[in-house]
Chains A and B, each alone.
Chain A
Amino acid sequence: MSHSDKDHPKLAEQFNADEPRVDWHDETLWWVRVKRDKAARSIPEWEQLRETASRIKNNVLANLSEYLIQFEEQATRNGITVHWAKDGKEHNAIVLGLLQKHGIDRMVKSKSMLTEECHLNDYLQQHGIEVIDTDLGERIVQMRKEPPSHIVLPAIHLKKQDVSDTFHEHLQTEKGNNDPQFLTQAARIHLREKFLTRRAALTGVNFAVAETGEFVVCTNEGNADMGAHLADIHIASMGFEKIIPQRRHLSVFLRLLARSATGQPITTYSSHFKKPRKGAEMHIVLVDNGRSTQLGRKDFRNSLKCIRCGACFNTCPVYRRSGGHSYHTAIAGPIGSILAPNLDMRKYADLPFASTLCGSCSNVCPVKIDIHDQLYKWRQVLMKEGYGSTIKKMGMKGMTFTLSHPGFYQFAGKAGRWAMKAAPFIINNKLNPWYKQRDMPSPPKESFGEWYKKNRK
């Protein structure tokens, strides 16, 4: 496991230095989880809906190449230009090439976790292109030069006061005015000018329909529509796995997505894009970036069923108390912890361990990904492939020896309990992470094994 300052335990410890803020973060996200529960309970057939979504996605993963080719044919017929990118680098180069071809150096972008994954903003800025994120939360974190901390609620780690300070610095709003309506109005005026003046807009894709070559973008702010409708060129970036076979399948996914994400019955805008306006261009970039590798990993392939609702973040007791940035990857939370090691095992070897394996994530997942089982399986892969520390390996070997030899186990237990009584400082000290904020159990005079020998038979 990595032992840099960037591993999850260290970053989470830093996050926990401000306990009232952790409480606030936890309670805010728990409130979203409760909203999700209420929305799910408003649909008696909720569990059946999850099962149906899961099966549709299994079908998609089993026939991914066919659906992608079908989608390309249909989209091309509709007048959309389809591009294929094998990784983030290719994706970024395609986007840059399109902008350069049209002599565009300023672009608006609605929410797209894929472009975060590909680090598109940094790349375009290095090439002299200005990118304005138009989702309110994303715009806030962009001003602060921070990555999003949540895939649906990118600025959920910030309080009203933080937003007010950020807007005061960047938009010259009144200092100390924390009124949400005042702040959103300021953002609205700021963004309206960008929408009206930018000739290119990039959006993500929530669902792409193989049968018709259409795609659907879901937002609550209408910012994808504002960008796309006012621009000459609309570029949509899409991970391979966003494909669904038929238009009617949207009736399953659109019912699940917003209820799982925020407890809304549906996103405010579910915009269907089919073909470019007259005189305008529409492009779609289909991105692999490790997805076909993940598809080839039997134990982990169904992580590609993910529809990016973020329900697993909101329910995760570890995420709520460690914050999105502690995952040091574009997609945080439980789902991020099973996606990231696929991209780089060494860098993300800590993430599958950032979980108690409580299983709540798998239960809220609208497409029934076995997230906590995959966390367990990633641990096995990572340790077997040698990404564990030597100390951990030696400790585990010692433990294995003890627990495989009953005589030694009984002796070690007795000796350990004696030592805890006779010399508690051996255990009760700063080197023992248990003892830092918790007392040790008080050792009994005899084990159950010893008691049993005396009292039975």
Chain B
Amino acid sequence: MIVALFVPCYIDQFYPQVAIATLELLEKAGVEVVYPSRQTCCGQPMANSGFEHLTHDCDELFTDNFGDYDYIVCPSGSCTLHIKDHLHSSDKEDKADHIRRHIYELTEFMTDILQVKQLNARFPHKVGVHQSCHGQRGLKLSQMSELVAPPFSKPLQLLKMVEGIELIDLDRQDECCGFGGTFCVAEEAVSVKMGKDRVADHIRHGAEYITGGDMSCLMHMEGILRRQNSPVQVKHIAEILNSH
């Protein structure tokens, strides 16, 4: 099994440690990982802004980069969902189709494909989990509070294997943080208010760290925490699962 690592553009540029943790986690699980060097972005920033009709070249590049691997793994629910729902190619649709069916967000790849049962990780801190909407409601990584259905959570399943971690409860277990891609600047006032409210919920319940599967949500909340001079930090779930 050869896995291609897809690193979202903003992680590549701003949070390389998240990609490194993802790579190391997969390697520790015995997976052969390749990082296609010509990768850029999934095209979601354009598509969510209403410019899906401009993403053709980006889609073709993605298909060329990732079409030949058994699996594609990405430390972001949002980017994974975008590819799953929207990737198409004009002359290599079979490859695009293969990608759509074989791209996995990191935690679901670990629980469903690798079926990880234990981790050699230790993180003795109080941690609040932010359920990013695209991972949760889009990829169905966790049960959603709106539905009358039995609970489950793939990220929590993994976090519970981490030694010393103390997971805190929240008042609103799966409310959106307000990042929303270009929403974060186009609707600045509401976006920031949503972020402040999310952060306050974690702080109220004693979180030292806020974690989640999408660095974009965490980047937004980190921006608010830093502005408030809060000691609370954000960490991508891959960093916690890979910590020791």
Chain A residues with CB under 8 Å of chain B are: 8-9, 12-13, 15-16, 19, 22, 26, 30, 37, 40-41, 43-44, 46-47, 315, 317-318, 321-322, 352-360, 362-364, 376, 379-380, 382-384, 388, 392-393, 396-397, 399-400, 402-406, 409, 413, 416-417, 433-434, 436-441, 443-444, 446-453, 456
Contact = CB atoms under 8 A, between A and B. Distances in A.
B193 A16 contact: yes
B108 interface: no
Task: For the complex of A and B, list the 3 residue pairs with the smallest distance between their C-beta atoms, beginning with the closest.
Answer: A438-B223, A356-B180, A383-B50
B109 to A, nearest CB: 18
A22 B186 CA distance: 19
A91 B47 CA distance: 39
Given A43-B148, A403-B58, A448-B12, A439 B40 contact: no
Nearest to B171: A30
A359 B13 contact: no
Given A409-B40, A438-B192, A353 B14 contact: no
B187 A12 contact: yes
B188 A357 contact: no
A393 B7 CA distance: 26
A384 B183 CA distance: 19
A451 B227 contact: no
Contacts of B13: 413, 416-417, 443, 447
A353 B187 CA distance: 8
12 contacts: A9-B190, A321-B194, A353-B187, A355-B183, A356-B183, A356-B191, A383-B50, A388-B51, A434-B223, A448-B16, A449-B35, A456-B35
B56 to A, nearest CB: 8
A439 B226 contact: yes
A9 B185 CA distance: 10
Nearest to A450: B16
A409 B8 CA distance: 12
Interface in B54-75: 54-55, 57-58, 60-61
B102 interface: no
B189 interface: yes
Contacts of B180: 355-358
Contacts of B12: 413, 447-449
A40 B144 CA distance: 14
Interface string B64-91: 0000000000000000000000000000
Given A406-B40, A448-B7, 8 more contacts: A317-B176, A356-B194, A357-B48, A358-B133, A359-B134, A404-B58, A436-B192, A439-B223
A146 B181 CA distance: 33
Given A321-B193, A403-B9, A451 B20 contact: yes
A354 B58 contact: no
A41 B187 contact: no
B148 A354 contact: no
B116 interface: no
B20 A438 contact: no
Given A318-B190, A406-B39, A438-B227, A363 B178 contact: no
B120 interface: no
Nearest to B13: A413
B208 to A, nearest CB: 19
Contact of A26 (B54, B148, B197): B197
A312 to B, nearest CB: 10
B45 interface: yes
B19 interface: yes
Nearest to A316: B176
A19 B190 CA distance: 11
B144 A403 contact: no
Nearest to B176: A358
A393 B187 CA distance: 17
Contact of A438 (B7, B43, B224): B224
A436 B174 CA distance: 26
B164 to A, nearest CB: 27
A393 B38 CA distance: 26
Nearest to B41: A403
